[in-house]
A and B are shown apart, each in its own frame.
Chain A
Amino acid sequence: MTSPAKRHPAVQYFYNIYMALNTIGLGLWITFKQFIRFSPTTVIYPYEKRELPERFRGTLFMDAKLCIACDACAKICPVDCIDIIPEGKGKERHAVLFDINFYKCMWCGLCTEVCPTECIYMTQDVETVFYDREQMIVHFVPQLPMPGTLGYNAPRPGQASKREKSAADKAATDKPASSPAAKPPAAAVPAAPAESTNEVKPAAAGAAASPPPPAEDVSSASASPEEAAPEAEAPPKAGE
């Protein structure tokens, strides 16, 4: 409390003993209160997951049907982790290759800020685990199934065909119910920007159903939830 120099040494000696016992008792009382009113601030991770903030910067995701291949994201990227090859002129312009190298990405979020169509955004996915380094270069064209599956759910090189097959099977079973709705591409375009800003989009489920390579031509084969289907069919034609 007051400066120790003021006291007589003998008084100070006993004062030290008193202060030692006092402060130790205080500390013990605080930890004991913690001990009996046990309220963990942790969660049991794989079973419970902590709610992430709304604007959490998780793994990047790219919505190929909205992309106009303007290259703004690739230009602003401080680590050059985005590769784009554009094709077409004017409104036809789209990306034929859109790769994000997650080995380099540092989650700065600059690409999402410059994107004019909001087609590249950050999801709430934090479980970005890859089996090998090649896999960390993620190809977003053709359209990937959905945000939150880049990591360990992504197909390994050998598994890719199996996964696509099961997705195609699922699409085939869904098809009779939803194919009538799968039509006007024009209607989908205005709706899409609004959707693409939220994280887990229902549209992505439709996209998942379509086997990535033949997405453009075999349009009738791929379909499922209503508004998702037209977007999924024609990512490159999204401008029109």
Chain B
Amino acid sequence: MTVWEQLVGSFSTQPWLVTLYAAFAAGLVIFGYVNFVGIFAIWLERKVAGYIQARPGPLHTGKFHGVLQTLADGVKLMLKEDVIPAQADRLLFTLAPAVVFVGSFLVMVAIPFGPGVFVSDFDIGIFYVLAMSSIAVIGIIMAGWSSNNKWALYGGMRSVSQYVSFEVPLVAALVPVIIHGGTLSFRVVVEQQAGGFWNWNFLGLGNPFLIVSFLVYLVAGIAEVNRTPFDLAESESELVAGFHAEYSGMRFALFFMAEYANMFVAGALATLLFLGGWHAPLPIGPGDSHLAGILMGLFWFLLKSWILVFIMIWIRWTLPRIRPDQLMTVCWKYLLPITLVNLVLAAGWEALK
């Protein structure tokens, strides 16, 4: 008996092995995609930044417009010395990048990339994603604390306060979608938006208050991924680099990758909940059951998500960083009242409809 036959034979006697192998394979796919997101999003960021600032950005590495530049940078980071400061808390310091990365990795598990293309179809997908994306905060405060560096600690504290604050309007902005759809499952929410772009939630034909939800989500989502108008946690000009000031080599790369993966997740959430997920703008083309339909769904989902990532990059290179007190003003004085009023009105609309 060959190894392969033994392997396949063991499936019938021990069914849990199938689950194990499937989970392993799915994990590999997601891991590969997270890495791809990191590499591609950083390249996109640099190109967009260059074009906005009247310079071409990376040009040489890789034949076409420096597409392999990020890969080369990644290889460079892997070869770099892995410095751990003498006074750092070694255990937390080494653990923190992994925790941050795992946070963005776990979120990917619940995201349906197309019709039937998902790792796990949770009934409580939205809840799960919101919970798992908070894991990154623990990693960030671990990194800030264990570095034993005042700038890193400031950065970590700012990041956590910002994250905890913006979590409130973010979740409150998503609740009208949940009320409207009556479900916490991404798949069901997307299927409710089938049949043309006029059915997508962000236009608010089903419930006009979803428009406000969408706008608030965009603002809070950018704040959640710590990007520029709200990147107080790693503001280079005041806090050197914030919580990852002491990190070098591959640990730094993990932080970087997690940041861009989170960016994609924020875009993907907006796509799934407001922009119709994998549905094409017009209800034409093959059905979701065909392979062509699945590929089309994958294409539309990725296109919409990456357009949102582009918008985040675009905003980053347009707006300056705001002060901490302004950040808290935006969160508590503007976003929170707006979302709460919006939540009540949306719930009332659903009740009276």
Binding site for B on A (CB under 8 A): 16-17, 24, 27-28, 30-32, 34-35, 38-42, 44
Indicate if B10 sits at the interface (CB-CB under 8 A). no
Are B55 and A35 in contact, with the CB atoms below 8 A? no
Known: A17-B334, A27-B319, A44-B59. A32 touches B314 (CB 8 A): yes
In the A-B complex, the 10 residue pairs with the closest CB atoms = A31-B318, A42-B55, A27-B318, A31-B52, A41-B54, A35-B51, A38-B51, A40-B56, A34-B52, A40-B55
Are A39 and B318 in contact, with the CB atoms below 8 A? no
Residue from the list A24, A32, A34, A38 in contact with B319, Cβ < 8 A: A24
Report chain B residues within 8 Å CB of A40: 50, 54-56
Q: How far is the CA of A44 from the CA of B55 in the complex (A)?
A: 10
Report chain A residues within 8 Å CB of B54: 34, 38-42
Report chain B residues within 8 Å CB of A28: 314-315, 318
Indicate if B211 sits at the interface (CB-CB under 8 A). no
Known: A28-B318, A35-B314. A42 touches B48 (CB 8 A): no
Write 29 A-B pairs (CB below 8 A) sorted by A numbering: A16-B334, A17-B334, A24-B318, A27-B318, A27-B319, A31-B52, A31-B314, A31-B317, A31-B318, A32-B314, A34-B51, A34-B52, A34-B53, A34-B54, A35-B48, A35-B51, A35-B52, A38-B51, A38-B54, A38-B56, A39-B54, A40-B50, A40-B54, A40-B55, A41-B55, A42-B54, A42-B55, A42-B56, A44-B59
CB distance from A211 to the nearest CB of B (A): 40
Report chain A residues within 8 Å CB of B318: 24, 27-28, 30-31
Interface size on B, residues (CB 8 A): 15
Q: How far is the CA of A17 from the CA of B334 in the complex (A)?
A: 8
Nearest neighbor of A28 in chain B, beta-carbon distance: B318
CB distance from B107 to the nearest CB of A (A): 27
Instruction: Scan residues 43-86 of chain B and give those whose CB is less than 8 A from a CB of chain A.
Output: 48, 50-56, 59
Q: How far is the CA of A41 from the CA of B315 in the complex (A)?
A: 22
Report chain A residues within 8 Å CB of B319: 24, 27
Known: A31-B52, A40-B54. 17 other contacts (CB 8 A): A17-B334, A24-B318, A24-B319, A28-B314, A28-B315, A30-B318, A31-B317, A31-B318, A34-B53, A35-B48, A35-B314, A38-B51, A38-B56, A41-B54, A41-B55, A42-B54, A44-B59
Report chain B residues within 8 Å CB of A17: 334
Report chain A residues within 8 Å CB of B315: 24, 28
Instruction: Scan residues 321-336 of chain B and give those whose CB is less than 8 A from a CB of chain A.
Output: 334
CB distance from A7 to the nearest CB of B (A): 16
Binding site for A on B (CB under 8 A): 48, 50-56, 59, 314-315, 317-319, 334
Report chain B residues within 8 Å CB of A31: 52, 314, 317-318
Report chain A residues within 8 Å CB of B314: 28, 31-32, 35
Q: How far is the CA of A32 from the CA of B59 in the complex (A)?
A: 21
CB distance from A80 to the nearest CB of B (A): 40
Q: How far is the CA of A178 from the CA of B320 in the complex (A)?
A: 66
Q: How far is the CA of A171 from the CA of B48 in the complex (A)?
A: 53
Report chain A residues within 8 Å CB of B56: 38, 40, 42, 44
Q: How far is the CA of A32 from the CA of B310 in the complex (A)?
A: 11
Q: How far is the CA of A60 from the CA of B37 in the complex (A)?
A: 51
Q: How far is the CA of A16 from the CA of B314 in the complex (A)?
A: 23
Q: How far is the CA of A136 from the CA of B318 in the complex (A)?
A: 45
Nearest neighbor of B54 in chain A, beta-carbon distance: A41
Nearest neighbor of B329 in chain A, beta-carbon distance: A16
Q: How far is the CA of A24 from the CA of B52 in the complex (A)?
A: 16
CB distance from A143 to the nearest CB of B (A): 39
CB distance from A18 to the nearest CB of B (A): 12
Report chain B residues within 8 Å CB of A39: 54
Nearest neighbor of B333 in chain A, beta-carbon distance: A13
Report chain A residues within 8 Å CB of B48: 35
CB distance from B213 to the nearest CB of A (A): 16
Q: How far is the CA of A226 from the CA of B104 in the complex (A)?
A: 74
Q: How far is the CA of A203 from the CA of B275 in the complex (A)?
A: 71
Q: How far is the CA of A16 from the CA of B337 in the complex (A)?
A: 14
Report chain B residues within 8 Å CB of A42: 54-56
Q: How far is the CA of A164 from the CA of B334 in the complex (A)?
A: 76
Q: How far is the CA of A206 from the CA of B319 in the complex (A)?
A: 58
CB distance from A88 to the nearest CB of B (A): 55
Specify which of B48, B54, B55 lies most central, judged by the most chain A CB atoms within 10 Å of its CB: B54
Report chain A residues within 8 Å CB of B334: 16-17
Nearest neighbor of A42 in chain B, beta-carbon distance: B55
CB distance from B84 to the nearest CB of A (A): 37
Q: How far is the CA of A219 from the CA of B315 in the complex (A)?
A: 70
